[in-house]
Amino acid sequence: MSVEKINTLVVGAGQAGVAMSEHLSLMGVPHVVLERNRIAERWRSERWDSLVANGPAWHDRFPSLKFNGISPDAFAPKERMADYFEEYAAMLKAPVRTGVEVLKVERHVGRPGFKVTTSQGVIEASNVVAATGPFQRPAVPNIVSEQVKVQQLHSSAYKNPGQLAEGAVLVVGAGASGSQIAEELQKAGKTVYLSVGEHYRPPRAYRGRDYCWWLGALGLWDEVRITPKKKHVAFAVSGYDGGKTVDFRRLAHQGITLVGLTKACHNGVMEFEPGLAANVAEGDRAYFDVLRDADAYIEQNGLPFPPEPEAWELLPDPDCLTHPLLSLDLAQAGITTILWATGFKFDFSWLQVNAFDEKGEPFHKRGICAEGGIYFLGLPNLVNRASSFIYGVWHDAKYIADHIVLQNEYMAYEKS
Ligand SMILES: Cc1cc2nc3c(=O)[nH]c(=O)nc-3n(C[C@H](O)[C@H](O)[C@H](O)COP(=O)(O)OP(=O)(O)OC[C@H]3O[C@@H](n4cnc5c(N)ncnc54)[C@H](O)[C@@H]3O)c2cc1C
C-alpha cells in the first residue's frame, strides 16, 4: 500500500496553522494542515462563553482580511474569532484536514524526513511544523487534595457562572483569565476571593490610543529579550465590558476580596503568601511606566493626543490590600468552588524527535530546530513578545516558510 507523502505537514489549525498555510501557499510549498478537532477549536470549546478578544478588531487579525460587521475598535467575541479563522482558511483554500489527530512524529532512519502517524494512517513529510498552541494543557498546582470537598476547575473548563456550585468561589490567578472571570462571577452575585500573584497590568488605553497601539508605537511587541521575571508574570489585560484597564483596587471596591499568592491548603484551610501589597505595587509601577513612556513618545513626536490626567490617579487602597488575609477556612467562608486560572503547560509527547532541551522545553531559534525539518510556531516569546498572539504569529510563520523554501532548494540541488 502506498504511503501519502507531503513536503510540509503542519500540526494544528489554530491561528498559527492557518498563518503557516498562507505563507507556504504563497511560496509554493506543497503542504497539509492536520487538526484533531475543528479550525480554531480552542476559541470554540476551551474558552468561557463571554470571552472577547484581548485586542481590538483592527489589531487582532491577519493582514489579508479585516473583520466584517464589527467596529474596528470593538473586541470580537470568541465565536467571532473562531469564525474569522475559518473564513480565513476558506479564503486561502487552505489544505486543512479536520478531525485528524497527529499521534506520533519520528525521524526516518537512513533517509530524510519524518514518519507521521495520525488517527487516519501514516503520512511521510520532509518537514513538520508544530503549531499546537502556546496554551496546550491546563496547569493546576498540586495544592488542594481531592479529599477537600470543593469543586475544582481550570479556567479552560469554565463556561459561565451557572456552571458553579452554590456558594462562594476562590479564583486563583489574576492574569487576563482570572481577573475577567472573577469580575464576571462577582457581577453574577457570587462572593469572590481573588488570589493575586505577580502580574503586569498595562492601561487598556491612554490618551486616545489602545494599549495594542502603544505596544506597537513603543516597540514593545518587538521586545526580544524578556527578562525571566517578566516572562512568567501574568499579563492582565482584557476586552471585557467594552475594554477596561484591569484594576485590582476597583475589583476590591466592587466587593471582591483580594488575597496573596496561594501557597498551600491544610485541612481545608487555604494559606496565602504575604506579598499581596507588593505585587499590586509592582503592577502599578509597570502601569505608570507605560504612561510615562507614552507621554515621552507623544512629546518627542509632537502628537496632538489629548492629556489624560485621570489615568494617573489610583483608587484608595481597600482593606483587603492593607490588611490581607493570610489564611482562609474554605468551609467557614462558604467557598464551594476553586477556579484555577493558573495557566497552561506544553504537551509535545507526540513529537518524538530531538527538538527539546534537558528540561524537556522546545529547543529552537526563531522556531527552527537543530533537528532539521522540525519547526515550532506560536509559542510564547518564540521570536518576541508578539509570537503567541494573533498579531505576531503571522510574521513568525513567514520566517519559517522562508526557511523551509531554502532547505527545499538545498535538497533539490543536483550537481551539474
Ligand atoms: C483565554 C485566552 C484568551 C486569549 N485571547 C487572545 C486575544 O484576544 N488575542 C490574541 O492575540 N491572543 C489571545 N490569546 C492567545 C492566543 O492567541 C490563543 O491562545 C490562540 O488560540 C493560539 O493560537 P495557536 O494557533 O498558536 O494555538 P491553538 O489555538 O491552541 O491551536 C492549536 C490547534 O492544534 C490542535 N492540536 C493540538 N494537538 C494536536 C495534534 N496532536 N494533532 C492535531 N491537532 C492538534 C488543537 O486542537 C488546536 O486547534 C488568548 C489565550 C487565552 C488562553
Question: What is the tens place of the pLDDT at every residue in 138-172?
Answer: 999 999 999 999 999 999 999 999 999 999 999 99
* pLDDT score at 235: 84
Provide the CATH number for the domain formed by 139-340 in this structure: 3.50.50.60
What's the CA gap between 250 and 240, in Å, rounded?
Answer: 14
Single-letter amino acid, residue 103? L
Q: Which stretches of the chain score pLDDT less than 70?
A: 224-232
* pLDDT score at 359: 92
Q: Candidates 34, 41, 42: which one to mutate for ligand 1, based on the most atoms within 8 Å of Cβ?
A: 42
Domains of the chain, by residue range, sit at: 4-136+346-412, 139-340
* pLDDT score at 223: 76
Q: Are the folds of 4-136+346-412 and 139-340 the same?
A: yes
Q: Candidates 100, 390, 395, 396: which one to mutate for ligand 1, based on the most atoms within 8 Å of Cβ?
A: 390
Closest atom, ligand 1, to C-alpha of 393: 26
* pLDDT score at 229: 46
* pLDDT score at 416: 87
Task: Compute the residue count for the chain.
Answer: 416
C-alpha 90 to ligand 1 mean position (Å): 19
* pLDDT score at 246: 95
> Does domain 4-136+346-412 fall into CATH 3.40.50.12280?
no
- In the block, residue with C-alpha cell 526580544: 224
* pLDDT score at 222: 85
Pocket lining for ligand 1, CB < 6 angstroms: 11-17, 34-37, 41-42, 47, 51, 53-55, 60, 101-102, 131-135, 177, 350, 378, 388-390, 393
* pLDDT score at 224: 67
Closest atom, ligand 1, to C-alpha of 389: 11
177-212 pLDDT tens trace: 999 999 999 999 999 999 999 999 999 999 999 999
- Total-model pTM: 0.95
